[in-house]
Chain A
Amino acid sequence: MGAYLMMIAAFAVGLPLPVVNLIAALIYYSINRKKGRFVHFHCLQSFLSQIPTTLVNWGLLFWALQIYLFDNYGETTLFFAYIVLVIVANLIYIIFSVIAAVKAWKGNFYYFLFFGPYAYKRVYSRSNPLQYDNEDNKATPFNLNKPPY
């Protein structure tokens, strides 16, 4: 749960320069991923879903700077459509992060579209070499929740 909540906080801090949240996600991920598969899964999902959101925000920043510094407007209709897209994307991201945070806090899985199954596959596959603090190395619990496939 912490992963999602912290992301939202870092996201707010990083609004003028959308890079802080990505760095925060990376740090949080690298510190906490060994705590257990469940934590690893949620951290990874949070971090992965962060990347496209940040890229989209960078795009907006870059475009806005182009306009401000060089009067390079491009097509303004396209720009306004992009602003709306950024707003919607961020809203969706925040809403789903909150839901995921609540689910994680309750000890449940929650799968984002694409990022969820991908993170699950990475964390719960036999090829995942990571040694978790709460597991002995031999037994891998495969009786946990499966993604909805």
Chain B
Amino acid sequence: MKKMKINGAFLNANRAWIFLIVVMIIGVFTPKFYTAYNIKAITGNNTLFIWLACGFTICMIAGNMDLTVQYCSTFAALICLGTHSRQKWPWLICILVAVLMGVIVGMINGLLVTKLKISAFIATLGMQFILRGLMYLYAPDEQSIGRDMAANEFLNDKLIKFLPFSAYFLICLIAVLIVWIFLRWTRTGRNVYMIGGNIETAWLAGVKSSRITILTFVISSVLCALGGALNGIFSGAANISMGEKGISPLMIGMTATIIGGTDTSGGSGSVLNTFITMIALAFLKGIFKKTEMQVLVISIIMILCIAYETIAAFRRSKILGIRPNLRNEYLREKGKA
């Protein structure tokens, strides 16, 4: 049986779970924290962020950043509720139209990065502004759109009412598991890690890196679009300015990705860890009720994670070139192996 050793590397590898456990322990000392209503409310209010965080994670594993996640989800919500209220289309068609928008956005992002060789940061930043402009064109005089309360009340009040979380959260959980299985157990999924780790090695191994990169952007945008559309339906309205004035959903997604252990330069990470971190962040927000405190605590945690990774990378770079057998012998002598 393999001996488990609790050291810095172990703690770092499991930091998402440790973060969640610590937050849950703090929750014990928070009045009225572990109530069914609170858990349902906390998970429900943060589900959209989980979709965005998972989308962001996939791109980051592939070594890219997708800054369109927030606007893609908002635009999807507007399209979904807009087509339902204006064109009177059934919900399923509205969701599909929103998801199709996500596919197009992801394709464009991917093509800009792979074919035009534009940095993902710049390409998705530009796309973010385009989406923003399109949103204001789509809903020029409206702060919000939609308001189908019948669907909203059915989904929130009647569907799986016995569970301590909403149907929206359950759908999100299923989506996360599907993406996790795809990344971990399929060849294409493993190739995402390979191109993120070292794109040249991936190329030498015969991986079609452009195709995989485009695929990651499409998956990211589809997740965000689906999450945004469902969020609009479940909350009954879509707000054009969502996240523009408070804590940016993009920042929350990025934070969950980084704290969840995804390497900022790509090649490693897990949507499941991002999901766990996002739950921990949601609980943390429930504990620190004031927005100022939430921002402060989350930022400190993220900085600690980044600082650890930077130091670890520096230490790794110092031993590059050392023969592994000698290094292992040295570590055994020092009792660190």
Q: Are these two chains actual partners, yes or no?
A: no
Chain B residues with a Cβ under 8 A of chain A: none
Chain A residues with a Cβ under 8 A of chain B: none
